């Protein structure tokens, strides 16, 4: 079943930190011996992916500390797990992007309908942390540092191919992030020839931070692409 393939994909994710630039480390919630994350992954993917049907593919950037970095599930914080997926957890985290994503999910027709049609993945399915000048480890995107991107480029191409195969090798993929994420993925795809077309939509965090007053407009825009 698809759920088993997805879980295998996440369990196999590994990136050698020796390849990364100084002051950058990998954030891998799938190999940190965390039984709660393991339970959440199994319950979530069993609930929505216990079939062999193809899905559309959505590509975010990479896991963040407060979303997938905590739960293991892209764009899904603990309030979303409880309210929309009926999954309880001892983890407590809230992530702005998740709030918008699950507004889209509800507008689409609910979690079963949405995840029956779509799989949310990432340009890079492992996240990064950067040790900044203030002595703090902060969220770091794969494109925030050119030598980081070059170090993980091959890894990203490999994981994009796998995610496409999981979804039934769709000709198109939706990209969340009309700026750098779309720019880098477009160049990467031109080289690797994985998708015939990439369709950009604003990143959910951008919508919630800068366009909250136009929330209904963005919900309509997302639904027009995701549920034409």
Question: pLDDT tens, 13-30?
Answer: 999 999 999 999 999 999
Q: Evaluate if residue 116 carries a pLDDT over 90.
A: yes
- For the chain, give every domain's residue range: 2-226
Query: Against a cut of 0.75, is the pTM above it?
Result: yes
Q: Evaluate if residue 68 carries a pLDDT over 90.
A: no
- pLDDT value of position 32: 67
Q: Evaluate if residue 64 carries a pLDDT over 90.
A: no
| Range 5-10 average pLDDT | 97
Q: How many whole angstroms separate alpha carbon 131 and alpha carbon 42?
A: 32
- pLDDT value of position 4: 98
Q: Evaluate if residue 101 carries a pLDDT over 90.
A: yes
- 2-226 CATH: 3.40.470.10
Q: How many whole angstroms separate alpha carbon 123 and alpha carbon 142?
A: 9
- pLDDT value of position 113: 98
- pLDDT value of position 174: 98
| Range 105-129 average pLDDT | 97
Residues ≥6 apart with Cβ < 8 Å to 228: none
Beta bridge pairs of residue 175: 59, 200
- pLDDT value of position 33: 74
Scanning 118-179, the segments in alpha helix (DSSP H) are 146-166
Question: Mean pLDDT over all residues of the chain?
Answer: 95
Q: Evaluate if residue 72 carries a pLDDT over 80.
A: yes
**DSSP character at residue 213:** G
**DSSP character at residue 175:** E
């Amino acid at each position: 079943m698809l759920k088993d393939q997805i879980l295998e994909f996440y369990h196999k994710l590994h990136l050698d930190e020796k390849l990364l630039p100084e002051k950058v480390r990998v954030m891998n919630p799938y190999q940190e011996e965390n039984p709660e994350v393991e339970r959440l992954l199994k319950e979530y993917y069993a609930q929505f992916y216990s079939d062999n049907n193809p899905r559309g593919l959505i590509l975010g950037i990479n896991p963040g500390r407060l979303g997938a970095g905590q739960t293991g599930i892209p764009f899904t914080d603990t309030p979303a797990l409880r309210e929309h997926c009926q999954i309880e957890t001892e983890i407590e985290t809230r992530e702005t992007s998740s709030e918008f994503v699950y507004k889209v999910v509800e507008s689409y027709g609910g979690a079963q309908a949405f995840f029956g049609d779509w799989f949310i993945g990432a340009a890079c399915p492992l996240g990064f942390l950067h040790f900044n000048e203030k002595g703090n480890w902060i969220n770091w995107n794969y494109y925030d540092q050119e030598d980081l991107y070059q170090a993980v480029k091959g890894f990203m191409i490999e994981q994009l191919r796998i995610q496409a195969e999981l979804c039934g090798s769709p000709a198109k993929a939706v990209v969340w992030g009309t700026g750098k994420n779309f720019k880098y993925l477009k160049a990467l795809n031109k080289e690797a020839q994985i998708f015939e077309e990439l369709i950009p939509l604003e990143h959910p965090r951008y919508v919630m931070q800068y366009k909250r007053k136009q929330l209904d407009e963005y919900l309509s825009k997302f639904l027009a692409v995701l549920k034409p």
